[in-house]
Every structure is written in structure tokens, then in C-alpha cells.
Amino acid sequence: MANKGLKFPAEVLTADEVSRLIRACSHRAPTGIRNGALMVTLHRAGLRISEALALKPKDLDAHAGTVRVLHGKGDKARTVGMDAEAFVAVERWLDRRRRMGITDRAPVFCTLKGKSVHPAYVRSLLPRLARKAGVMKRVHPHGFRHTHAATLAAAGLPINVIQRQLGHANAAITSHYLDHIAPADVVAAIRAVPWGEIWEGRKRPPALETTSPGVSPTQPTRNQAERRSERKPIQAAPRRTKGRAR
């Protein structure tokens, strides 16, 4: 693969972009229904692509609103939440595949022959759907996970809840994760700056601190003291006279 080993910056999708990607799938062809349900699951449950493709029908509980991941990162199991609207999309695909004679032993997102879908198929599918939907961002499976995490953070969910949903080992990883994809504090602070008032002179920007930490503003710093001493006139040394000192 041409992009193997390369790293790209995270690009969070908007709600409109996600909707356009899903609408780009066929609503009649079985593969289109399946692919749309897969994208909904990646987006609404925040799963890794390997976790989503490993799901079995028994792992889904629409009544409880849960998805059971048996083999997450580090082979750790966890239970995540998924909303009712997402379950409707998944159930539509499950109903279609039952009518095709595919049993519940097959993975949820299987081929039309009941076999496992390879992650490479999904990675090549999403850019094609993006072009069709007119989405200019780089669209890839993990991008839905980024979008899911950013949405939870914007909704004000506690960091420990987001951590458990994503399956991170600790909250520090989740915090670092969100800092890269959704730095809410930075965005909020910059958006709150009264740019117009500052440029029009109606409000002065905060004064910059010019002193070092722990140094009083009235106390000269070492560099200031040295510069002042350099400006003082140099006094000539007293001349010594010959003879015995008195």
C-alpha cells in the first residue's frame, strides 16, 4: 500500500459530512445497506475497525443499548453504549442478511456469502464514498472514532466515561487523545478574545509580563542592574603622592 507507514493528522468529521457519507451508500443493494450500517456503528459506538468487524449478532443488545467488544486492544473486553437510531440501521442490515440465508454465526458485517470482511476493503471503500459525497477531508475508519470522541467531549461527558467508551487504558491517554482532535479549552479561549474591540482601540489587550517569575515588577532584574551600572561615569582613582604617608 502506498500509504503504509505514513502518519496523517486527525480530521474530525462534521455531522453533515457523516450523513453525506452514509447517504452515498446504496439503500437497496445489500452491500450498501451493510456499509451504511458499518459506518453508523463506527461513528456512534466509537469502535476500532477490527472491533467492529469482529462483532457477532449475539454481541448486540438493542434493548439495553449495548455493544459487547470481546477482543479489544490488548485483547481486553469491554461493553460500550450505542443509541437507538444506530441500532435501527444495524437491524435493517441484519434483517436483510437473514432473508439471504446468512446465519447468526457469521460476523455482523459479513460478505454476501457470510464470510469476514477484511479491513483493507473498508479502507479502500471510504475514500470512494468521500469522493461521491463531496467530502474533501481524508476519510478512514479511525476518523469515525475521532469524530465520536470529539462529539462526546463537546457534549460535556466526563473524561472517565469517554475513556471507558473508547477502551483506553487510563484517562491520561484519553486526555492526550482529545487534546489532538478536540482542544476545547484552546478553541474556547481564542473564540472569546474580543478581536474587534482590541483593533478598534475600545479594549486594550492584557499587558505582557516582562519580569521573571518570583521577581517583583519594581525590583530590577540582574540584566537591568548591569545595564544601569554600565551607564554610570567611571571615577578616576586618586593619585598617590611620593613620600612618606602622613
> Is the distance from CB of 150 to CB of 181 less than 8 angstroms?
yes
Q: Does the annotation mark 78 as catalytic?
A: no
Residue 62: φ, ψ to 5°: -65, -35
Q: Does the annotation mark 168 as catalytic?
A: yes
- 48, 140, 146, 148: which one is catalytic? 48
Give a yes or no: residue 2 inside a domain.
no
- 44, 140, 145, 148: which one is catalytic? 145
Cα angle 131-108-55, degrees, rounded to a multiple of 5: 100
Secondary structure of the chain: what % helix, strand, coil (to 5)?
50, 5, 45
Cβ-proximal residues to 142 (8 Å cutoff; 6+ apart), any chain: 48, 49
Residue 24 C-alpha cell reads as 452515498
Q: What is the DSSP track for 116-147?
A: BPPHHHHHHHHHHHHHHHT--S---HHHHHHH
Give a yes or no: residue 99 inside a domain.
yes
Q: Does the annotation mark 142 as catalytic?
A: yes
User: What is the signed CA dihedral for 222, 226, 228, 233, rounded to 10 degrees?
Assistant: 160
Give a yes or no: residue 217 inside a domain.
no
- 56, 73, 92, 164: which one is catalytic? 73
Cβ neighbours of 21 (radius 10 Å): 24
Q: Does the annotation mark 73 as catalytic?
A: yes
CA–CA dist 182, 24 (Å, integer): 27
Cα angle 191-193-198, degrees, rounded to a multiple of 5: 140
CA–CA dist 141, 204 (Å, integer): 46
Give a yes or no: residue 49 inside a domain.
yes
Residue range(s) defining the domain that contains residue 141: 15-184
Per-residue pLDDT of the chain (246 residues; tens, 9 = 90+): 445 555 667 789 999 999 999 999 999 999 999 999 999 999 999 999 999 999 999 999 999 999 999 999 989 999 999 999 999 999 999 999 999 999 999 999 999 999 999 999 999 999 999 999 999 999 999 999 999 999 999 899 999 999 999 999 999 999 988 888 877 777 778 888 888 788 777 666 555 444 444 444 445 445 554 555 555 555 555 555 454 443
Total domain count for the chain? 1
Report which secondary-structure segment, H or E, holds 241. none
Give a yes or no: residue 81 inside a domain.
yes
CATH code for the domain of 180: 1.10.443.10
Q: Does the annotation mark 20 as catalytic?
A: no
Give a yes or no: residue 1 inside a domain.
no
Give a yes or no: residue 57 inside a domain.
yes
- 58, 142, 176, 180: which one is catalytic? 142
- 34, 43, 97, 177: which one is catalytic? 177
- 34, 43, 140, 168: which one is catalytic? 168
Give a yes or no: residue 178 inside a domain.
yes
pTM of the full structure: 0.75
